[in-house]
Amino acid sequence: MAFIQEFKQFAMRGNLVDTAVAFIMGAAFGKVVTSFIDGMVMPAVGMLVGSVDFNSLTFVMKAAVPEIKEGTQIIQSAAPEVSIKYGTFITNLIDFVVVAVVIFMVIKAMNAAKKKEAEAPAAPPEPSTQEKLLMEIRDSLKGR
């Protein structure tokens, strides 16, 4: 529940420039994470599960049909393969989870820093003119 409240507070404040900067940085960060996942994480995961290239994992629902010709006449036209590419989905899901976790950690750190700033004790208020005058009288009476 705290996560949802923090996200709501994040979404409700800010201005257009902050949002634009965050969008540009997020897009660049997304490319870095995608490169990291595709180039480093998924090959390692693929090796662990038996030399599998996750991007090539598919569930073929209907195999491709080649074009059949007899002379110049087409007897059967070609049909592409119909498949579910769940390996690409798994890769993109891992990519999303990494980006979401990192962004959440950055936002959480920023919120903690702002909370510490807000919790810093304020300086005590200056004494009033009356209090200053009474302190002067007290100090002069002590000096006797």
For residue 92, the model assigns a pLDDT of 86
Q: Cβ distance 88 to 55 under 8 Å?
A: yes
CB atoms within 10 A of CB 103: 16
Rounded CA-CA distance 142/131 in Å is 16
For residue 113, the model assigns a pLDDT of 83
| pTM exceeds cut of 0.95 | no
Rounded CA-CA distance 141/134 in Å is 11
What are the angstrom distances between the C-alpha of 77 and each of 61, 124, 126?
A: 19, 86, 90
- For 46-75, b/e burial (b = at least 16 CB within 10 A) is beeeeeeebbebeeeeeeeeeeeeeeeeee
Pick the CATH number of 2-121 from 3.40.50.720, 3.40.50.300, 3.30.1330.10, 1.10.1200.120: 1.10.1200.120
Q: Cβ distance 54 to 45 under 8 Å?
A: yes
pLDDT tens digits along 7-24: 777 766 666 567 777 788
pLDDT tens digits along 92-123: 888 888 888 888 888 888 888 888 777 767 77
Rounded CA-CA distance 130/118 in Å is 31
For residue 35, the model assigns a pLDDT of 87
